[in-house]
């Protein structure tokens, strides 16, 4: 799916399906973090007009997703407990280079991979959802996060050029695949 080289470990959806309350809480935090990341990109690169315009749209959509998932939590009387660490995202960020313009490219690619992996996990959650309510939630988010993957890669191509983006996407695909292979299958969106 999208740029992903490896499917999630089959064990993950088993653990996730058995702990849907925890998945919903972590999912809410992921949507909030996605909005925060978009705001951080606007703060870091205010002179990049296209990036700022697209990140505004993306931050608004991610906050709308956050509100949607908060509503699902409230319907089920599940409290929004504190955020857990996200080793998947942290390990992707560990490979971001520190000099510019490589840093800009890597941050956009990290954003793209988080969206792509979220997409794959939403498709698993939709296929295994216990009711139509959750199935339609995950199906609608899947389409939206695929659009976010395209937004990140389109911005990267605008500022860094297609060939450079293609080459770094391939390198990151291998990095991401190795991270996913080592994940412990926790009941979190990227566990
Ligand atoms: Fe989202
Ligand atoms: Fe997204």
2 domain-assigned:
no
Domains in the chain, number = 1
189 domain-assigned:
no
131 domain-assigned:
yes
Tell me what percent of the residues of the chain surpass a pLDDT of 70: 99
Instruction: Tell me the per-residue pLDDT of 28-87, one tens digit each, with 9 for 90 and over.
Output: 999 999 999 999 999 999 999 999 999 999 999 999 999 999 999 999 999 998 888 899
> Average model confidence (pLDDT) for the chain?
96
pLDDT at 10: 96
Predicted model pTM: 0.95
168 domain-assigned:
yes
* Domain CATH for 125: 1.20.1260.10
191 domain-assigned:
no
How far, in Å, from the CA of 35 to the mean position of ligand 2? 8
* DSSP letter, residue 107: H
How far, in Å, from the CA of 189 to the mean position of ligand 1? 12
With 70 as the cut, is the pLDDT of residue 1 above it? Answer: no
Q: Per-residue pLDDT averaged across 24-28, rounded?
A: 97
Residues 154, 85, 5, 121, CA torsion sign: negative
Encoding tokens for residue 107?
């941050």
With 90 as the cut, is the pLDDT of residue 2 above it? Answer: no
89 domain-assigned:
yes
Angle (CA) 114 120 121, round 5°: 85
Tell me what percent of the residues of the chain surpass a pLDDT of 90: 95
Instruction: Tell me the per-residue pLDDT of 78-115, one tens digit each, with 9 for 90 and over.
Output: 999 888 889 999 999 999 999 999 999 999 999 999 99
- Cβ neighbours for 123, distance < 8 A, ≥ 6 positions apart: 1, 138, 142
3 domain-assigned:
no
* Ligand lying closest to the C-alpha of residue 28: 1
pLDDT at 85: 86
Task: Give residue 23's domain range.
Answer: 11-181
How far, in Å, from the CA of 21 to the mean position of ligand 1? 18
117 domain-assigned:
yes
């Amino acid at each position: 799916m999208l740029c992903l080289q490896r499917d999630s470990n089959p064990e993950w959806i088993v653990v996730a399906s058995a702990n849907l309350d925890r998945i919903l809480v972590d999912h809410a935090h992921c949507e909030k973090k996605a909005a925060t990341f978009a705001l951080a990109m606007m703060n870091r690169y205010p002179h990049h007009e296209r990036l700022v315009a697209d990140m505004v749209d993306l931050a608004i959509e991610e906050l709308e997703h956050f509100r949607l998932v908060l509503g699902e939590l409230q319907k089920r009387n599940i409290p929004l407990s504190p955020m857990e660490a996200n080793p998947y995202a942290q390990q992707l960020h560990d490979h971001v280079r520190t000099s510019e313009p490589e840093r800009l490219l890597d941050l956009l690619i990290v954003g793209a991979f988080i969206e792509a992996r979220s997409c794959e996990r939403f498709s698993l959650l939709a296929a295994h959802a216990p009711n139509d309510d959750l199935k339609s939630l995950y199906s609608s988010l899947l389409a939206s996060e695929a659009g976010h993957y395209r937004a990140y890669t389109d911005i990267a191509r605008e500022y860094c050029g297609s060939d450079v983006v293609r080459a770094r996407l391939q390198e990151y695909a291998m990095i991401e695949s190795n991270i996913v292979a080592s994940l412990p299958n926790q009941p979190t969106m990227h566990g």
